[in-house]
């Protein structure tokens, strides 16, 4: 039923954020690895370093990856007679797009089936073992995100799926930043401490759409120098700069220009927050990336 609803109803554009597909793929592998290895299926994962983020609905993009991994698992288990197999997953980018490749060493897709694999309700699985919606849903989500998906047989055995998503444009970043938002009641001066260009670009568009002013710092020392020169209403700081030597949170909170600022720690995953001081001081919040636009707005602007 969930697949059918996904196929027939588009999600609101407001749910879209910047998504790191490396993170999404890690999550899917983490949730599926044990079950795969139980059936003798090994996973190889090769992630491109510094992979640019794409704009999308994280839940839907994870569903794409999960369906493709599940399809690969089914193919291997049907074609291996219990001997197991291998699924190889990799990410890469070529300047204007980010790609995910998922390849298995199962029996492959019959030539006569290639033209039907994206059709709703078409399936090679036995009665009661498949709805035929999996690849149709995958295809629909990818196309809705402005991407492409291709399938082929790289060898005599096996199947390979290549999914490509375009990199964000300045216009699409602005649209994400302004989704569900209008001008704020009061303009804020916001200091952002983030080493990633994609994160800085997203926050720049979001804050500009709300009428706020942003100043970026490339690291903790830079942020502290800026706070010595001017006051800020809020600080958004990557979790990697909080909790270690030269702690940015402690230094900025001790500064007259930062003592009253709201402090938002942004984290890529729960694991990256394990070193944070607990309990957090008053006026300090933690937000997970990719940002939820409404949550970010509330943390920065609501009193």
Cα dist from 206 to 76, 134, 298, whole Å: 45, 34, 13
Neighbouring-strand partners of residue 41: 85
Question: How sure is the predictor about 280, in pLDDT bands with cuts at 50, 70 and 90?
Answer: confident
Side-chain-side CA neighbours of 83 within 13 Å: the count stands at 6
The residue to which tokens 């995958």 are assigned: 138
As a whole number of Å, the end-to-end CA separation of the chain is: 41
Q: How far apart are the C-alpha atoms of 212 and 209, rounded to whole Å?
A: 8
Q: So what's the pLDDT on residue 164?
A: 95
Question: How sure is the predictor about 8, in pLDDT bands with cuts at 50, 70 and 90?
Answer: very low
**Percentage of the chain with pLDDT > 70?**
78
Q: So what's the pLDDT on residue 88?
A: 95
**Domain map (residue ranges) of the chain:** 2-166, 170-301
Q: How far apart are the C-alpha atoms of 119 and 137, rounded to whole Å?
A: 9
* Dihedral of the alpha carbons of 49, 51, 57, 60, in degrees to the nearest 10: -50
Judged by average pLDDT, the poorest of 64-73, 97-106, 171-180 is 171-180
Backbone CA torsion sign across 35, 66, 59, 48: positive
Q: So what's the pLDDT on residue 9?
A: 40
Question: How sure is the predictor about 21, in pLDDT bands with cuts at 50, 70 and 90?
Answer: very high
Q: So what's the pLDDT on residue 83?
A: 74
Q: What does CATH list as the number for 170-301? A: 3.40.50.2300
Q: How far apart are the C-alpha atoms of 119 and 134, rounded to whole Å?
A: 10
Write out the chain in H/E/C secondary structure: CHHHHHHHCCCCHHHCEEECHHHHHHHHHHHHHHHHHHCCEEEEEECCCCCCCEEECHHHHHHHHHHHHHHHHHHHHHHCCCCCEEEEEEEEECCCEEEEEEEECCCCCCHHHCCCCCCCCCCCCCCCCCCCCHHHHHHHHHHHCCCEEEEECCCCCCEEEEEEEECCCHHHHHHHHHCCCCCCCCCCEEEEECCCHHHHHHHHHHHHHCCCEEEEECCHHHHHHHHHHCCCCEEEEEHHHCCCCCCHHHHHHHCCCCCCCEEEEEECCHHHHCCCCCCCCCCEEEEECCCCHHHHHHHHHCC
pLDDT exceeds 50 at position 284: yes
CA 43 to chain centroid: 20
Is the pTM for the entire model greater than 0.85? no
Query: Taking a C-beta distance cutoff of 8 angstroms, is the pair 89, 46 a contact?
Result: yes
Q: So what's the pLDDT on residue 296?
A: 85
> 91-100, 119-128, 153-162, 182-191: which has the highest mean pLDDT?
91-100
Q: Average pLDDT, whole number, for the chain? A: 78
Per-residue pLDDT, averaged over 154-180, amounts to 75
Q: How far apart are the C-alpha atoms of 303 and 301, rounded to whole Å?
A: 6
Q: So what's the pLDDT on residue 246?
A: 47
The answer regarding whether domain 2-166 maps to CATH 3.30.565.10 reads yes
Q: How far apart are the C-alpha atoms of 22 and 169, rounded to whole Å?
A: 20
Q: So what's the pLDDT on residue 7?
A: 40
Bigger pLDDT: 214 or 175?
214
């Amino acid at each position: 039923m969930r697949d059918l609803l996904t196929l027939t109803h588009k999600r609101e554009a407001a749910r879209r954020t910047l998504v790191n597909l490396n993170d999404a793929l890690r999550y899917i592998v983490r949730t599926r690895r044990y079950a795969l290895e139980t059936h003798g299926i090994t996973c190889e994962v090769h992630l491109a370093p510094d992979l640019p983020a794409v704009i999308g609905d994280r839940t839907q993009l994870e569903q794409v990856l999960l369906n493709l991994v599940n399809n690969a698992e089914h193919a291997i288990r049907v074609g291996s007679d219990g001997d197991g197999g291998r699924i190889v997953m990799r990410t890469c980018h070529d300047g204007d797009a980010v790609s995910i490749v998922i390849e298995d060493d199962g029996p492959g897709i019959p030539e006569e089936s290639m033209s039907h694999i994206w059709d709703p309700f078409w399936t090679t699985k036995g009665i009661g073992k498949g709805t035929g919606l999996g690849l149709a849903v995958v295809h629909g989500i990818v196309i809705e995100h402005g991407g492409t998906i291709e399938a082929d047989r790289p060898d005599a055995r096996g199947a390979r799926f290549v999914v490509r998503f375009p990199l964000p444009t300045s216009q699409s970043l602005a649209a994400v930043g302004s989704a569900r938002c209008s001008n704020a009641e009061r303009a804020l001066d916001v200091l952002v401490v983030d080493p990633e260009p994609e994160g800085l670009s997203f926050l720049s568009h979001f804050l500009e759409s709300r009428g706020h002013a942003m100043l970026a710092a490339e690291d903790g020392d830079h942020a502290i120098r800026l706070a010595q020169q001017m006051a800020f209403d809020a600080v958004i700081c990557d979790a990697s700069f909080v909790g270690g030597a030269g702690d940015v949170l402690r230094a900025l909170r001790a500064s007259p220009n930062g003592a009253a600022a709201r402090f938002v720690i942004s984290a890529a995953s729960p694991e990256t927050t394990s070193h944070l001081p607990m309990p957090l001081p008053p006026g300090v919040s933690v937000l997970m990336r990719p940002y939820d636009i409404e949550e970010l707005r509330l943390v920065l602007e609501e009193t």
